[in-house]
Amino acid sequence: MTQKRTFLQRLFGGGEKPSTQRGAPPPAPSAPAATEPLPTLWHSLGVQFDIDQLGTTDQERMFYGQQARLIFMKHFKSCHVGRCYLWHGDTQSTLDGAQARRFCIAVTANTPSALERVRTTFARAADKGLAPSSQRFLEHPVDLDFASGAPKLIRREPWPLWFSVDETSTAVLPAAEREDIELLERFGWPYRVR
C-alpha cells in the first residue's frame, strides 16, 4: 500500500520509504506535479502615483488617471508576471481627504515572485508622477480568494477592475473603452474585450 504524500513532501522530498541501503544518498527533492492547482489566495501590490505631479497641461492634470496608466504601461510587462488582474483608482485615503493625494494601480497575481518583479521594476522607475519611493507601494489593496473556484474579492480599496491578463499574455478588457484600447495598442499588447 502506497502512502499519499503531501504537496510539501512532493516539493521538498520526504514521505518516501527510507532506503535500506547504508550510505545511500537521500532522495532528491521532487518538483510539484504539473497538475498542482493554483494557490487559492492571490496577493496584490499597488503602485502609487502622486496626483498633483501627474501631467503637465491642464487637460493632462484633469485626466490624471490616464497619465498614471501611461506611466504604468511604459514599465509593466505581462511576461514578467503571468496571469494577473489589474485594478486602478484613487486610494481610499485620498477619497477620505488625505493631504497626500494618491492614484494607484494594483496587480493581483498568483505568486509572490511575480509581485516582487513588479516591485523591483517600479522601485527603479524615476518617472515624474510616481509617488516618492518610501510611499510608492501599497500592500494587499485587492487580494483574491479562489477557494470556492470563483474569485472572491478581499478588498481594502474601492477600485474597479481595469483589465486582466490571461495565460497567453493577452489583456482582457471588461469593456471596450477607447482610451484603454489605444494605450494597449501603443505598447503593442494583444487584447480582447470580454
Our CA angle for 68, 74, 78, nearest 5°, is 105
pLDDT at 78: 84
Q: How many residues does the chain have?
A: 194
pLDDT at 156: 87
Tens-binned pLDDT, residue by residue, of the chain (194 aa): 444 433 323 322 334 333 333 343 333 322 233 445 567 899 999 999 999 999 999 989 999 999 999 999 999 998 889 999 999 999 999 999 988 999 999 999 999 999 999 999 999 999 999 999 999 999 999 999 988 888 899 988 989 999 999 999 999 999 999 999 999 999 999 999 98
Helix (H), strand (E) at residue 163: strand 161-165
Task: State the cell numbers at 37.
Answer: 492547482
Query: 75 CB contacts (<8 Å, ≥6 apart)?
Result: 121, 122, 125, 127
Interatomic CA distance for residues 104 and 62, integer angstroms: 16
Q: How do the domains of the chain map onto residue ranges?
A: 42-193
pLDDT at 170: 95
| Predicted model pTM | 0.78
Task: State the cell numbers at 106.
Answer: 494594483
Each as own residue / partner, the long-range contacts of residues 132-135 (CB below 8 Å, 24 or more positions apart, any chain) are 132/50, 135/48, 135/100, 135/102
